[in-house]
Structure 1
């Protein structure tokens, strides 16, 4: 048996041990043996134990009975959304900001759950722990298979479950009260340990079956499995050898999974105690304290600024933590960091150059690596850190340009702000802007579903409240906002106070740069943006405030206004911007993506011609 096969087998053994420890129920006293509660109550109580304070979703006839348990629970608040897609986005945003917690949404069978699945797929793609609870017909109806509403009319009551299997990491369909608690615990544990969405079918009758409560006395084990000590020590030795050979010319590159899999603290300890320069990929923005003196900026392959690109690509060794190497995250796959100079750390494996070590997860490995590398600090701190520091440009035009906007709003941000940027000009424009210490950045760079940020801002604002963070600030284009705008009404209704910057550039600017600059399909109808908050139930000037700015001076004056800055009510700012203006990084990325798309089209044309 090869070393690789042995390592894989050992990793699976460790995983099974972890699952056994998770499912084991110990210490059940006889005094608890007779205590029971409903299955629905058990589920809600488990979530409360894990620190969940909000559940998002839309009521439907197959989940209404369960929602009584939610509404009656003193620690979990039901947040009704305008539609299930927005609810999924909200659960996603909540989980991203609420470190170590899962987002939860509840929908009804068929029509509700299918509406949410785009949001669930995005959470799967970007490693976000979301529990999707689906209220479904009773166990008896599922066996008899009548032609119920919300079904496909053909007796397939498992059709949506099969869909969910493709976009969730773990699933459970509760069929009896005997295993209901164990199944609930299993999928919730998978959700948190694997940082991916999970799916739970809760039949109407089973929600009201009584089960023993004793299992709740055993907390869920949500820590990652232990690493095999022998393999782990071997990996550490190999990394230390590479660091020694690199003669301290080492950099750390941090990406999204460092955030999703809960190793931000371990990463901070690594870069502070070793002194190595540290950089981040776009999806890893704010995984590193961007005010840290040895933080160099965002590396995006060939799109990177020269000082960053040179430092990262010329390093003799790159310690890559939590990488997700998607096209938009790597400058259309233009990373120039060869495998021979790279060590990759992931949640469930480690790669040292060409060698893979399954089951050696970064959560437990990084602290030990920090101890081993700390003696190298004296040499490491002498390494220069390549930085790009954006400045507010002096331009001849009064228009609010992309070049001006992002350095200017960078001066507006405060420590502990939660900043959400929509796919497009916002997510590309803000990348190079250093954010203050404690700031949290949210963007959906891999899945890229436009409109995601509106629901996500709702969930993020709630999580920020729970954690005692600062303002929640959204940047979104006029096209994207039209997809999911209804959730503004929920924010108003619930008394949330985000600041919403609407970049009104008359349509889909990112699409224009990808293809069809002057095509009508990239145009949209111009709404009366400053009337939106009032339309959705706010009282202008009292419970909501709306602004329109057309010039640099108007924007700057607003950002300097103390009342606006304090964010005492929900605020919307419509910024009138040039239609065909875009951030530098977006233009370069669009050009690279366009070449790829044309190449694919040419191959297709050539194939047809050959036929």
Structure 2
């Protein structure tokens, strides 16, 4: 189905729901409010719900546990649950759901919700709250602040969610739920939905369930869109098709991977990716040239991107870590930006012209330049394993070595710092997916996210789930390994043991105690967190030979059980890109020198 037809169908469904809201639903079939919400989530192909029980959500959790499709995961804390919902949404391509209880639970999840907002991930934060009568009378109940301000938590949520819905009567429940879910889908950001204890079992009409919810792709204005298409075509023609395409995070966030790949195939333009856009396009594609990060980009890539007469960026997010500390050298006069809800051509901005519908039409316009664009040489994006005499496992050797370990379809999760930067120089196989948290950068995010990603991966049968996390980061959120074991998930976890917070050491305080941590006995960890009935495997590797032997062994396949590999590294070693970025970050912070 074309994007325009999808948008028309979405608009038709939206209007139907608005009419039903105005007329009231008169369907004879009845359903409880709680089950209505679960039915909507099932329609959106949501099969996992993360969170923790609390007495204000227990009645709803009865419905979750009895639901034929929804699985209650049960996390170790609310922060990790928010991370897991984030990871699930990224891989599954739908909404991630976290359920918490009033006050203490919802506030514990706030950092994870804020991260999803920052990185544009659709997460529903469902909060069980006191009864409607208690919300009016505001008694001195537990989990409250003791001063009657029951709205304090909602005010906090307003800062980190794009929409807040509150179910306060059966008559409005269905429309409030639908509105929240549509906002979450359309805007690709978290929403907050409160569900009072006495509303869970109230019965309402099920009539609205017959009209499906879908991502609201607002139709581009035809005249403006035609003008934009003509303008871009003219710019490409004037440049003699000397064009490069730069892919970024919003290609995945707003579901335009297919449209983008078709555009690249039909036009033949060379394509590069920003760090947050890695694996948004197939890295084995013959016209893919690697990662562009401003001034810290390898010279051959930097030259190719910056010398092009026209740079078309798709879904750009120009954050500090995503742009080499804002060092993009892309003049506005040569830049065309395609975004989810606007297009910018040089100095002109066209609001309401989104890339979902624009890209297929732009493909038709620009495919005439294929014979010219396809002749522009692209330096192959290949793996380069350095030859080192030492047996110590260095960052410069480890990451290229992992390239031969990855398989098509792998879901790869990297932690803030060493792993996020180390993976950038590694070509990843076809159909693999990398998720990372480059903008928000909350240390420990990757562990909870890996739980959610592994569950989504299991549902979609993509491949293995592989997590790279530092020893310092893992200590923050290590509890989420327990539900992985309990649920029979089989991720491969590489613990990069470099004795502390390396990204912080690189920025400031290489030898300061505040960047030190306790050294845990990592090989014993899976036994401690498991139930002793689930098979696990743990290894420690200290040399290149040991790691090579592990990768080549038949026993180590990573698909039989959850597996942990502790990789011993020097505490002051870091990937090349991390060192360069950290140096720029340190200068921007204007810290005095300190070792």
Q: Distance in 1 between matches of 2:523 and 2:274?
A: 35
For residue 257 of structure 2, the aligned residue among 254, 264, 267 is 264
Matching of residue 218 in structure 1 with residue 232 in structure 2: no
Q: Which one of the candidate residues 33, 57, 60 is aligned to 2:51? A: 57
- Provide the residue aligned with 2:79 in structure 1: 85
What is the aligned counterpart of 2:539 among 540, 547, 566?
Answer: 547
**Residue in 1 that maps onto 2:293:** 300
Question: What is the CA distance between 1:21 and its match in structure 2?
Answer: 5.1
Matched, 1:465 2:463: no
Q: Name the counterpart of 1:23.
A: 18
Please give the alpha-carbon distance, in whole angstroms, between the structure 1 residues aligned to 2:550 and 2:385. Answer: 16
2:61 corresponds, among 42, 52, 67, to 67
In 2, the alpha carbon distance for the partners of 1:328 and 1:531 equals: 35
Q: CA deviation at 1:175?
A: 1.1
> TM-score scaled to structure 1, two decimals?
0.93
1:132 alignment counterpart: 125
Q: CA deviation at 1:397?
A: 1.2
> Is the Cα–Cα contact under 8 Å of residues 164 and 199 in structure 1 kept in the other structure?
yes
Is 1:171 the equivalent of 2:164?
yes
SS of the aligned residue for 2:537 comes to: strand
Q: Secondary structure at the match of 2:200?
A: helix
- Confirm or deny that 1:310 pairs with 2:300: no
Distance in 1 separating the partners of 2:354 and 2:254: 10
Q: Provide the residue aligned with 1:557 in structure 2.
A: 549
CA distance in 2, matches of 1:221, 1:598: 47
CA offset at residue 23 of structure 1? 3.4
Say yes or no: does 1:45 pair with 2:70. no
Partner of 2:526: 533
Residue 209 of structure 1 and its aligned partner are, at CA, apart by 1.0
Could you tell me which residue of structure 2 aligns to residue 203 of structure 1? 196
* Residues 1:586 and 2:578 are matched in the alignment: yes
Question: Structure 1 residues 385 and 538 mapped into 2: Cα distance closer, same or farther (>3 Å)?
Answer: farther
Measured against aligned partners, the alpha-carbon deviations of 1:245-297 in whole angstroms (never above 9, x if no partner) come to: 11110011000001000000000000011000000000000001000111000
Q: Which residue of 2 aligns with 1:576?
A: 568
Distance 2:522 2:138 in 1: 48
For 1:257 and 1:191, how far apart are their aligned partners in 2?
Answer: 15
TM-score under structure 2 length normalisation:
0.96
Q: Is the 1:89–1:456 contact (alpha carbons within 8 Å) kept by the matching residues of 2?
A: yes
* 8 A Cα contact 1:340 1:354, kept in partner: yes
Q: CA deviation at 1:387?
A: 4.1
What is the Cα deviation at residue 69 of structure 1? 1.0
Q: CA deviation at 1:107?
A: 0.3
The 2-side partners of 1:83 and 1:157 are apart by 23
The equivalent of 1:348 in structure 2 is: 341
TM alignment of 1:413-428, pairs within 5 A: 413-428=406-421
CA distance in 2, matches of 1:338, 1:116: 40
Aligned equivalent of 1:151: 144
1:390-401 alignment to 2 at 5 Å? 390-401=383-394
The Cα shift of 1:562 comes to: 2.4
**Residue of structure 2 in register with 1:8 after alignment:** none
For 2:421 and 2:150, how far apart are their aligned partners in 1? Answer: 43
For residue 561 of structure 1, report the CA deviation from its aligned partner.
Answer: 1.6
Equivalent residue runs for 1:341-420 within 5 Å: 341-420=334-413
User: SS at the partner of 1:564?
Assistant: coil
Cα shift at 1:537: 1.7
Q: Distance between the aligned counterparts of 1:396 and 1:354, measured in 2? A: 53
Aligned to 1:507: 500
Q: Closer, same or farther in 2 for the Cα pair 1:580/1:137, shift >3 Å? A: same
**Residue in 2 aligned with 1:455?**
448
Kindly state the Cα deviation for residue 231 of structure 1 after the two structures are TM-superposed: 0.6
Distance 1:366 1:486 in 2: 43
Identify which of 278, 281, 292 aligns with 1:285: 278
Moved more, 518-527 or 215-224: 215-224
Residues 1:112 and 2:105 are matched in the alignment: yes
> For residues 17-46 of structure 1, what are the alpha-carbon distances to aligned partners after superposition, in whole Å with 9 as ceiling and x for unaligned?
9854553449x999x822111101100110
Once the two structures are TM-superposed, the CA of residue 538 in structure 1 deviates from its matched residue by: 4.8
- SS of the residue 1:430 aligns to: helix
The secondary structure found in structure 1 opposite 2:476 is helix
SS at match of 1:546: strand
Task: Between 531-540 and 102-111, report the one with greater CA deviation.
Answer: 531-540
Contact 1:23 1:185 in 2 (8 A): no
Task: Please state whether the residue corresponding to 2:446 is helix, strand or coil.
Answer: helix
User: Residue 125 of structure 2 contacts residue 190 of structure 2 at CA under 8 Å; is this kept in 1?
Assistant: yes
Distance 2:20 2:359 in 1: 31
Shift of 1:390: 3.3
Task: Tell me which residue corresponds to 1:96.
Answer: 90
The question of whether the paired residues in 1 share the 8 Å contact of 2:490 and 2:558 is answered with: no
Q: Report the Cα offset of residue 539 of structure 1.
A: 3.7
Q: Supply the distance in 2 between the matched residues of 1:539 and 1:34 (Cα, whole angstroms).
A: 51
* Preserved contact between residue 308 and residue 387 of structure 1 (Cα < 8 Å): no
Q: Are the aligned partners of 2:491 and 2:558 in contact in 1 as well (CA < 8 Å)?
A: no
Q: How does 1:233-244 map to 2 (within 5 A)?
A: 233-244=226-237
Could you say what the CA RMSD is over the residues aligned between the two structures, in angstroms?
Answer: 1.9
Q: Does 1:192 align with 2:185?
A: yes
Aligned to 2:97, what secondary structure does the other structure show? strand
Q: Which blocks of at least 5 consecutive residues in structure 1 are unaligned? A: 1-13, 603-611
Q: Indicate the SS of the match to 1:131.
A: strand
On the 8 A contact 2:13/2:212 being kept in 1, the answer is: no
| Moved >6 Å (runs of 4+) | 14-18
For 2:463, what is the secondary structure of its paired residue?
Answer: coil
